[in-house]
Structure 1
């Protein structure tokens, strides 16, 4: 044991007192700085030689670097380090006062503004066509020094365990102990996660962008995580560090210029705006290289406030006077792995348990290389057909053809070891559960559970508990039956339904569906056909204060087809028995009717990007504008009681200007002919209608200050406008907050309101409310909005016009 302890302390000594080498250079010039002083917690470790280097030993995790005539900086201790210091020579003295007074250099801001102004023209997408390939590698692991330290710790731990008498343990505890030890051994020899992908990017102004995943492989998984395939970068985006709306989060300083490959570049250093004291204000988070001729981005490096927490570097290359992304490297800390030293070690050295905890930083590493650039390609329509992204291969067999660097021994071991772990613990299924939840599904084996059916609330049913299941592609690739059941505690009744989808192809969305249902819904609901999960969640609280519901029972057949990447068609026919569940009579004919109708639904989303997966279409990038159209036709000749026509239309768009981001939602509805109130349109109020404070949850098409279930029309037009003020600021934690101004309005009419015999009002003047929404309120994931009713429907009482609204931030505008 003494021998093992001696080896252990020798390893610790080698780790803590191992040599480190630092090279200190002048920013921009890349020439060495002589006599730069290196400090550890104020203690001088040495000075650099004529080559700008110093070799030293230290226990410190970070050292300070100082040199006369340069701004000081710090560096995370590593075996090999390189740092660049910015000059404080007379040419730059003019910005010294600016730095201390916490203001950006106006010259730097002017250059960054030109970067933004010229970004579209500098983008490769200003070309007629292009193509290139990429190789990306994402891993989750310790950093290099932690790997060495971890292996030393593990070896010592294993040696110590050999001398410990076998304790009496239950079978379960013994199993847990062995599993923990196996995981520790696994982490010593391989990365915790590894994913590689090779892609081909095609672009044509005529046909748009097409991404082909040439090959990819994820350690531990048989199938790729398709949501991961859609991970994006700075490839076609302005980095967040220089976006106009983020200027208040950083301070920028023009510190140098440098010639790179025969082109002059401005060097701009930046730091976070929340650095408070003068010493911090001389430290920088990163730098930006800007091409002086075109104002294209050449390079950006951004570090966390603590450099040990991560860094991001992106490098661009000019090709035909357009700036293509050439390389990206990320290193981001994602928590730590902590182990306790065993009791034997505690007895030997007498240290406390807290001191003997071993902590190892976990990092996500991302490397991306782009190559094989061509700025003029044959624009064959067939090459751009189908969805925006297609997956050619998922086996990893041809990755070697595209790798820009070979796999390390540790990476090779990751595939062999993690693959065996994935098989043992069924990681595919666990990952499918997580990714399915992002789409509103909880996946368990062959079954997908519908998250939207779990819990609902409205004034008629009260709390509604339910369960919905659908057999997924593991059951059958072409046939998918489903069913649901739910119970409302306030109306004390069951609701249920069942259906089946039959696909006609696996290449795109194309299927026939038949279904039976026995359920209730709010009268006059706006159609949510082809809405995505996030939109439906956003609108799920629209009936919190509405009890005007009707019952419907019947069956429907339909067909859905993606006519293109942008256009989806659904046609259906149904026969229902319908009955009002509130005090209502239509034109003295009662409250129970037969309805036979057909419906046409179209969704057009020209800028959204999708891909086909085994579980169906995945829209990995929802871009605006989007258009939704529904046309329903009642048919009397087939046994229906009514021959009405019902149209509704929704368009939503979001666009960015120099004054911020604006979101627009316009929607309208028209019902023609004779039909009961549930085939008209409810004007969605979220308020409680009581003489108390209005506090409600957001909805997609609702009004915070309007009483629920009060207004109905047979025609209307509404709008929702939101504008994000381009001022961002740090709040609690790492959250960034901002404010949105909101303006909602709606108006319409009803031709013969007297035939609908119940207590309601038509809305035939403009109903308007204005609001201010605080995003990420107090660092939380919620937005808090304050709304006030103005115009025709405003009352003299403040409380009746005022409402507070809560919204989950991820739901968007």
Structure 2
């Protein structure tokens, strides 16, 4: 079964959102006034950081940055802004609504401070950590982190309520009154003009969850039991509601300020109380809340470098000896290297435990997305509240057993919605209550259904036809040297046909070789749930007759993908394959799985590929190679999470490793099998998060073939002759160039997330990101499998001039490396690739330029 990878699910969901953005973006926010300016000291002319700029009547506001700059979107009905700063007199400025304005303000010190004259230079003193009371305080917070984290208790349990809404934002009156929205006016009746920085928003999605969560320190166990779940549901034929929910929840993760790095939008931002925070942040004591019990210190913080992946905001720290964070307000600078993010605000509140330590009681995360700064976009916010918090009161031992998350089943989903209605800790606002009804009404409008159908087809490649999906569209047309122009049509059944039995099929025709190719598979779910849902337990039988490039085991994309039709150099070595398969897959809740399989494979050379031995004076051409093998596969992916869709499942990349092992045994004489052999392989992958240096994806792989076999049954290493950059292929290796009966490989792909570019003048505004990769391959062929020593084995390939074009690796490894620039126009990655070894092989390119489509935040 082919699974959609994380990058494809990101691109699919993000693409759907961006597609919907195309129309709104053309309308500017005429319903709000954009105010910008600089706040300075009236005497010294120094720029003042952290000044509060607000519209009290609308309950909105912002703070000046480290250079005294600010930007605020003010709703059309308001015409005044208030500027307040500790130790300075408040100032109110009025303006004309509807027109962007620049208002610079000079604040005078309050009368309480006029008794003291302080003479300062024109420039503020250089910031230093040494002898800085704010840094001394934050070091106390860091030192006390272990005792203030929930993990400091032996047992913790609580109820967790999550509410997430998603909305169109920054919609102008002109946009709303267009003829195309004539039937949608009911959606615009209720809007919140004070949210998302004071712009108009139109809620279109809401999701609520209620769960009971448990933590045990020894042995460490985390478990969540879902109690209630309710969300807006779009037409399941066009939008995958489960996948949409998973994607939104991935974007809006829990914020753990006590962790060194905070995961956000697939990136990691250094926490302001990380162990090395004073190296990257500037801290200031901006206020003392003496009336609060216990007394609190307000700490303001900013990144030292404004383009780094860091927060800005305020911390409120207790002075009772625990140095715990009682509140936190986080935001990011607009210059940070995050895509499509116009603004981000997060608020964390902590409640006091009986032992005077604090636990997280409520969090808020709001993110405003848009292609342009002033255009329309999307605004999402997630609120999480914690109640019935209990510490060091162990639950029965049985509670900690079982899967990490106990999800609601289809049979209990309706009851869970009713339970959530009755036990919701926070009531919904009038706007939020209307979302469920409005979306149901929206889907009855035919024009909206047509829009969804077109968008779904363009982005997923599939279009529904009753209980079947037809596609994928990118394989309808392709070409290659053997088949010439190739047309293909296919599809798959959906759970609407059956939740136990699934069918997938396609047929294709090559106009050059004038041959039909086809595929048919039937899968039976042994646990009664969709075969795309975790955990899988299924039995599948399939037959495929098609072409293939030897060594190209593309797991996530089809070889007849149109974009892969464009290849460099000589690429006419193909196989006609007849593949009969029977597979059994069983996954367990602990993310261990095994698979048993049987495969009969008939390989026939085509194009420039040939099978020939040299055992006779006149070498014979061999028309077909037949093998019959059984296999055992093992996989362990601890704490793996998925984007769980209706007809796909793709893993979410996290910090935990994934290990796979496979053993295949070929039997001579079984169903015409010609060789006996054993093929063993091991693989391990892991993403290493490196904080400010981004992340590195690392893969280690090895294999060993036992027995004497011809070269098509050896491990033919994954080469790439397309112009796309492939992460786990050798991008300057030619097809069929190297084969091994034993090998070990290392892949490293480092993404720096703009760490260096963000510090370069001019370039930092482009928000480019640096990449680097290294690929090493050690391998070889034992003497028993050397065709030059054993004439009865198939010869290595030669070109028309008699030069060998297939080789065994020697003592020198194959080495390839690249450096690249990613996030070009927020869509592309381009790498310059260099090959370091085996440069004397025929038709070798030492340098290459490769590109890759990649959408990230």
Any gaps of 5 or more consecutive residues in structure 2?
A: 1-29, 35-54, 64-73, 111-115, 192-201, 263-267, 530-534, 788-792, 798-805
Task: Report the equivalent of 2:156.
Answer: 130
Distance, in Å, in 1 between the alignment partners of 2:467 and 2:223 is: 32
Distance, in Å, in 1 between the alignment partners of 2:499 and 2:549 is: 35
Q: Does 1:409 align with 2:409?
A: no
Task: Report the equivalent of 1:210.
Answer: 223
Distance, in Å, in 2 between the alignment partners of 1:322 and 1:256 is: 24
2:468 aligned residue (439, 443, 447): 447
1:763 aligned residue (809, 823, 832): 809
* CA deviation map 1:480-534 (0-9, x unaligned): 11111234566554321101111111353111111121112222445x6xx5679
Give the direction of change, closer, same or farther, for the CA distance of 1:804–1:473 in structure 2 (3 Å limit): same
Q: How does 1:544-693 map to 2 (within 5 A)?
A: 546-581=571-606, 582-586=609-613, 590-610=622-642, 615=647, 619-620=651-652, 622-639=654-671, 640-657=673-690, 660=693, 661-686=695-720
Task: Report the equivalent of 2:439.
Answer: 418
Contact 2:31 2:173 in 1 (8 A): no
Distance, in Å, in 2 between the alignment partners of 1:336 and 1:718 is: 40
Task: Report the equivalent of 2:204.
Answer: 193
Q: How does 1:215-226 map to 2 (within 5 A)?
A: 215-219=228-232, 221=234, 224-226=241-243
Give the direction of change, closer, same or farther, for the CA distance of 1:724–1:556 in structure 2 (3 Å limit): closer
Q: More deviation in 665-674 or 129-138? A: 129-138
Q: More deviation in 255-264 or 197-206? A: 255-264
Contact 1:220 1:423 in 2 (8 A): no
Helix, strand or coil at the partner of 1:678: helix
Task: Report the equivalent of 2:504.
Answer: 482
> Which structure has greater strand proportion?
1
Task: Report the equivalent of 2:47.
Answer: none
Helix, strand or coil at the partner of 2:712: helix
Give the structure, 1 or 2, with the largest relative contact order (CA under 8 Å, sep 6 or more): 2
Q: How does 1:166-565 map to 2 (within 5 A)?
A: 177=179, 180-189=181-190, 191-200=202-211, 201-204=213-216, 206=219, 208-219=221-232, 221=234, 224-229=241-246, 230-231=249-250, 232-236=252-256, 238-239=261-262, 240-242=268-270, 252-256=282-286, 258=288, 261-262=293-294, 264-265=296-297, 267-270=299-302, 273=305, 286-289=313-316, 298-302=327-331, 305=334, 310-317=343-350, 324-334=359-369, 363-376=379-392, 377-378=394-395, 380=397, 384-386=401-403, 388=405, 390-391=407-408, 394-395=413-414, 396-424=417-445, 445-449=466-470, 451=472, 453-454=475-476, 460-461=482-483, 465-488=487-510, 491-506=513-528, 508-525=535-552, 546-565=571-590
Helix, strand or coil at the partner of 1:225: helix
User: 1:763 Cα deviation (Å)?
Assistant: 1.1
Q: More deviation in 89-98 or 218-227? A: 89-98
Distance, in Å, in 1 between the alignment partners of 2:343 and 2:333 is: 6
* CA deviation map 1:649-695 (0-9, x unaligned): 211112234784333211122222243332211123335xxxxxxx8
Q: More deviation in 242-251 or 714-723? A: 242-251
Contact 1:199 1:211 in 2 (8 A): no
Contact 2:163 2:382 in 1 (8 A): yes
Helix, strand or coil at the partner of 1:397: helix
User: 1:312 Cα deviation (Å)?
Assistant: 0.9
Contact 2:482 2:513 in 1 (8 A): yes
Task: Report the equivalent of 1:739.
Answer: 770
User: 1:537 Cα deviation (Å)?
Assistant: 9.7
User: 1:718 Cα deviation (Å)?
Assistant: 1.0
Task: Report the equivalent of 1:781.
Answer: 827
Contact 2:746 2:776 in 1 (8 A): yes
Contact 1:207 1:381 in 2 (8 A): no
Task: Report the equivalent of 1:32.
Answer: none
* CA deviation map 1:311-344 (0-9, x unaligned): 412214265787654333344434599xxxxxxx
Q: More deviation in 639-648 or 323-332? A: 323-332
User: 1:454 Cα deviation (Å)?
Assistant: 4.7
Distance, in Å, in 1 between the alignment partners of 2:105 and 2:747 is: 54
Contact 2:316 2:328 in 1 (8 A): yes
TM-score normalised over the length of structure 1: 0.71
* CA deviation map 1:621-659 (0-9, x unaligned): 554311122211112242322112112221111223478
User: 1:127 Cα deviation (Å)?
Assistant: 4.8
Contact 1:457 1:541 in 2 (8 A): yes
Distance, in Å, in 1 between the alignment partners of 2:143 and 2:838 is: 44
Contact 2:740 2:809 in 1 (8 A): yes
Distance, in Å, in 1 between the alignment partners of 2:824 and 2:288 is: 43
Contact 2:677 2:709 in 1 (8 A): yes
Give the direction of change, closer, same or farther, for the CA distance of 1:613–1:214 in structure 2 (3 Å limit): farther
* CA deviation map 1:442-477 (0-9, x unaligned): 655522345474566666556655333110101111
Contact 1:512 1:558 in 2 (8 A): yes
Helix, strand or coil at the partner of 1:707: coil
Helix, strand or coil at the partner of 1:697: coil
Q: More deviation in 120-129 or 740-749? A: 120-129
Distance, in Å, in 1 between the alignment partners of 2:437 and 2:457 is: 27
Give the direction of change, closer, same or farther, for the CA distance of 1:542–1:26 in structure 2 (3 Å limit): closer
* CA deviation map 1:237-292 (0-9, x unaligned): 634553589999986342435456426545123269569xxxxxxxx963344667
User: 1:552 Cα deviation (Å)?
Assistant: 1.9
Contact 1:512 1:559 in 2 (8 A): yes
* CA deviation map 1:43-101 (0-9, x unaligned): 9989989998778764347765542249xxxxxxxxxxxxxxxxx997999992447x9
Alignment: residue pair count: 704
User: 1:716 Cα deviation (Å)?
Assistant: 1.3
Contact 1:541 1:698 in 2 (8 A): no
User: 1:150 Cα deviation (Å)?
Assistant: 5.4
Give the direction of change, closer, same or farther, for the CA distance of 1:329–1:390 in structure 2 (3 Å limit): same
Give the direction of change, closer, same or farther, for the CA distance of 1:360–1:431 in structure 2 (3 Å limit): closer
Helix, strand or coil at the partner of 1:399: helix
User: 1:381 Cα deviation (Å)?
Assistant: 5.0
* CA deviation map 1:159-214 (0-9, x unaligned): xxxxxxxxxxxxxxxxx94x622312331146431313123233345464334443
RMSD: 5.4
Contact 1:499 1:516 in 2 (8 A): yes
Distance, in Å, in 1 between the alignment partners of 2:277 and 2:331 is: 15
Distance, in Å, in 1 between the alignment partners of 2:362 and 2:345 is: 11
Give the direction of change, closer, same or farther, for the CA distance of 1:576–1:364 in structure 2 (3 Å limit): closer
Give the direction of change, closer, same or farther, for the CA distance of 1:705–1:323 in structure 2 (3 Å limit): farther
Distance, in Å, in 2 between the alignment partners of 1:517 and 1:13 is: 59
User: 1:743 Cα deviation (Å)?
Assistant: 1.8
Distance, in Å, in 2 between the alignment partners of 1:534 and 1:69 is: 69
Q: More deviation in 535-544 or 719-728? A: 535-544
Q: More deviation in 645-654 or 727-736? A: 727-736
User: 1:305 Cα deviation (Å)?
Assistant: 4.3
Contact 1:246 1:728 in 2 (8 A): no
Q: More deviation in 437-446 or 497-506? A: 437-446
